[in-house]
Amino acid sequence: MVPMLLAQISDLHIKPPGRLAYDKVDTAAFLRAAVASLLQQNPMPVAILATGDLVDGGHAEEYAHLQEILSPLGLPCYVVAGNHDERHGLRTAFDGPGFEYLNQTGEFLQYAVDLGALRLLVLDTVVPGEGRGQLCEQRLRWLDERLAEDRRPTLVAMHHPPFASGIEYMDHFGLENADAFEAVISHHPHVERILCGHLHRSMQCRVGGAVASVCPSTAHQVALDLRPGATGAFVMEPPGYQLHHWHSGRLVTHTCPVGDFAGPFPFG
Ligand SMILES: [Fe+2]
Ligand SMILES: [Fe+2]
């Protein structure tokens, strides 16, 4: 079985050039650092999965800025819509070579990708103008049909995670009908992983028999505060991305912090 490496980046929140997110976070500089780190990987991933909140305000100049920062990667990039994205703007911006898969999409930005040993199904959880996520009957039916037509190990990608994180502030903006989603997943044991963003920190949870995994943000992280009623906040913990490594018939997920760290040092 041929090994395969897929990189996941999430919650890039790119602003127009020269602008900071929340007047504090240089999200473009953070993404440049993540791209530089990805380019150091050996072996290189075969593709990038970007699980939403690609830009901060859904504006065309933000998507243009995003494309400029991602271009050195030279890899196929599969984009997922997040609550900070705007479907039309996203589709218009990525209307070029390498993004033909977006032609499959209708009202919702949902599509299937053949990754060889694995299959990737991208879902659209966006409710325009709102922070929360939703998968209406139409979107869930599409998922159920795609899962039924191919029994290969499958990655399901979506911005809003299908579980409550316990960080109450974020759970107010969670996936509304996670139960209906879980019911679909539970009928398809070949779902290997559910790859999400939105929560701006690494988390894992079993959903419908599969592992749901959240990728950290390439920029700011959500503060880990599990107290009921805690105010939402972000912290500048190390940013990162994930590498999903398919080998020996299993998918192993590595979380890779981005920054300057000492080492590697030999053990002996
Ligand atoms: Fe986000
Ligand atoms: Fe989000």
Residue 262 domain-assigned (yes or no): no
Residue 124 domain-assigned (yes or no): yes
pTM of the prediction? 0.98
Question: Which listed ligand is nearest to 131 at the C-alpha?
Answer: 2
Give me the domain span that covers residue 159.
4-257
* Tens digits of residue pLDDT in 2-57: 789 999 999 999 999 999 999 999 999 999 999 999 999 999 999 999 999 999 99
pLDDT at 196 (0 to 100): 98
Residue 267 domain-assigned (yes or no): no
When mean pLDDT is compared across 38-42, 102-106, 187-191, 196-200, the lowest value belongs to 102-106
- Separation of CA 200 and ligand 2 centre (Å): 8
Residue 265 domain-assigned (yes or no): no
Say which CATH number the domain at 24 has: 3.60.21.10
pLDDT at 50 (0 to 100): 98
DSSP for the chain, please give it: ---EEEEEE----BPSTT--BTTTB-HHHHHHHHHHHHHT-SSPPSEEEE-S--BSS--HHHHHHHHHHHGGG-S-EEE---TTS-HHHHHHHT-STT-GGGGG-SSS--EEEE-SSSEEEE---B-TT-SSB---HHHHHHHHHHHHH--S-EEEE-SS-SS--S-HHHHTTSBTTHHHHHHHHHT-TTEEEEEE-SSSS-EEEEETTEEEEEPPPSS-EE----STTPPP-EE-PPPEEEEEEEETTEEEEEEEE-S---------
- Separation of CA 20 and ligand 1 centre (Å): 14
pLDDT band (50, 70, 90) for residue 1: low
Interval 194-201 mean pLDDT: 98
- Separation of CA 91 and ligand 1 centre (Å): 19
Residue 173 domain-assigned (yes or no): yes
Q: Is the pLDDT of residue 202 over 80?
A: yes
How many domains does one find in the chain? 1
Short-list 14, 15, 9, CA closest to 37: 9
* Tens digits of residue pLDDT in 208-257: 999 999 999 999 999 999 999 999 999 999 999 999 999 999 999 999 99
pLDDT at 105 (0 to 100): 85
- Separation of CA 54 and ligand 2 centre (Å): 9
Residue 266 domain-assigned (yes or no): no
pLDDT at 97 (0 to 100): 84
Interval 94-114 mean pLDDT: 90
Give the mean pLDDT of the chain: 96
Residue 263 domain-assigned (yes or no): no
pLDDT at 162 (0 to 100): 98
Interval 135-139 mean pLDDT: 97
Q: Is the pLDDT of residue 93 over 80?
A: yes
Residue 236 domain-assigned (yes or no): yes
Short-list 68, 74, 36, 40, CA closest to 54: 68
